[in-house]
Structure 1
Amino acid sequence: MRASVFVLFFLLLGGCAGADNNPGDLPYKYWRLGFLAPDYMEVWVETAHAEDIRGKTFFHVGSGIVAVRTPPEEKGNPAGWGKRFGWGAGRHVNGADLPRRIYVRWQSMAEPQTYRVILDIPERARQLMSERLAPPCPASEYREALTLGLAPGGVVRGWVMSTCGRPIEVLRAQAEIEPKGPYEGTSQGSHRPLSETSKAYIEKHGIPYGSW
């Protein structure tokens, strides 16, 4: 029942994105949604949807493996997020105005567990994404990227960033377990497998819950 409510929430948000490529008040052509995970804590995004400030919904704006480091010889450090990292694996959300809400369902392959969450994007994030940088980055004049960090335990962190400078944290959230399991119950509870490097690290060192 709760799973159905999640789906209906996005279907009733106000409208689906169509062929309209007008970004409204967006000061650049499009913004980017990216995903990352701590070292070795591999994540597979099953799907992500976004609603912009005009009430339009953009379905399936994210899927697949997220950006994650798996250094050999256990040289990585999965505790915490660090001060600098990239935009994450993702894509541009074409035709969208600034983000209002984002829904994500993903597999935390390190546990394994499947989570889902609806994120209310704070006004501060939109303000930061609208401000022209002074001085601008060599490749961008705005903070055009929204990056979501997905960690074991359903921990979510969000940052906005440009092509230079440090990420600016704009949200923290706790996801809930997807009651249907991976792939909405179509895989009989089977999650995607970890890489051998990540599996070996976790078997030896465990998962640093509470560090994110």
Structure 2
Amino acid sequence: MSNFLRHTKISAGLLLGLLLIAYIQSFAQSRHDEPWSLGFGAPDYMEVWIETADVVDIRERVFRRAGSGIASVLTPKDNKGEPAGWPKSPGRGAGRDVLGADLPRLIYVRWQSLAEPQTYEAYIVIPESAREIMRKPEKAFCRADGKWITDYRADIGIGLAPGGIAKIWLGGPCLKSIEIARVVGTINKQGPSQGKNEGRYALPLSPESKAYIEKFGIPYDSW
């Protein structure tokens, strides 16, 4: 075998190896085998009903109704709650794992703000920087059992507030939440249930929330 042929075969083998490595790295970056969850919360008394939350993952697959129902919210008696602003490290809220999905690219949410009442929708684009955080394992101390573990920020929590505000955090069971986005949604002109329920909202406002809002109003500028 001539030196030329031997060199050509080595170069071809090296090129194939480099291409294989690049493909594996690209595949690893595009896939996320750790499950992630989607949850929703709302400020005290500002009760919310989620009509649908649809997810588009980075492989352009659509997961409809990945979230729906009542958002997590406190309704303390005797007006002792504090609806203005957001907690420093909010939890995920009410939700569940988005089964079978890769990391999210887009989340569409349509919800009823029962405190106003009004129906909103928002398109939440998840930046690549947020997905990089979700992929990265972190050492975390869990106060519940006093142990150090390796954890992921695999919980996406979305806070929904009057005025169409949607605020998005990444967190984990033993990790502090990180804010990644804030979106101002738009009014859905079809109204509650896309106009299929004669303008009726999914639930009446609770007596505690109604009493608070009648006395103190809604702190729109705090979110």
Give the TM-score taking structure 2 as reference length: 0.81
- Aligned match for 1:143, one of 147, 150, 153: 153
Quote the residue 2:46 is aligned against: 41
Larger Rg: 2
C-alpha distance in 2 between matches for 1:32 and 1:165: 15
Q: Tell me the SS of whatever aligns to 2:87.
A: coil
C-alpha distance in 1 between matches for 2:137 and 2:212: 42
Quote the residue 1:180 is aligned against: 190
Give the TM-score taking structure 1 as reference length: 0.85
Q: Is 1:136–1:142's contact at 8 Å kept on the other side of the alignment? A: no
Amino acid across the alignment from 2:136: E
Q: Is 2:139–2:149's contact at 8 Å kept on the other side of the alignment? A: no
Shift of 1:166: 1.8
Give the aligned CA root-mean-square deviation in angstroms: 1.4
Unaligned runs of 5+ in 2: 1-29, 143-147
Q: Is 1:48–1:60's contact at 8 Å kept on the other side of the alignment? A: yes
- The structure with the largest helix share of the pair is 2
Quote the residue 2:58 is aligned against: 53
Shift of 1:102: 0.5
Q: Tell me the SS of whatever aligns to 1:167.
A: strand
- Aligned match for 1:153, one of 163, 179, 196: 163
Q: List structure 1 segments (4+ residues) > 3 angstroms apart after TM superposition.
A: 135-140
- Aligned match for 1:202, one of 184, 188, 213: 213
Quote the residue 1:169 is aligned against: 179
C-alpha distance in 2 between matches for 1:85 and 1:72: 21
Quote the residue 2:111 is aligned against: 106
Quote the residue 1:18 is aligned against: none
Q: Tell me the SS of whatever aligns to 1:127.
A: helix
Taking structure 1 as reference, are residues 155 and 141 closer, same or farther at Cα in structure 2, changes over 3 Å only? same
Identity, in percent, stands at 53
C-alpha distance in 2 between matches for 1:139 and 1:202: 42
Q: Is 2:153–2:175's contact at 8 Å kept on the other side of the alignment? A: no
Unaligned runs of 5+ in 1: 1-23
Q: Is 1:66–1:88's contact at 8 Å kept on the other side of the alignment? A: yes
Shift of 1:134: 2.4
- Aligned match for 2:82, one of 77, 100, 104: 77
Shift of 1:165: 2.8
C-alpha distance in 1 between matches for 2:94 and 2:57: 20
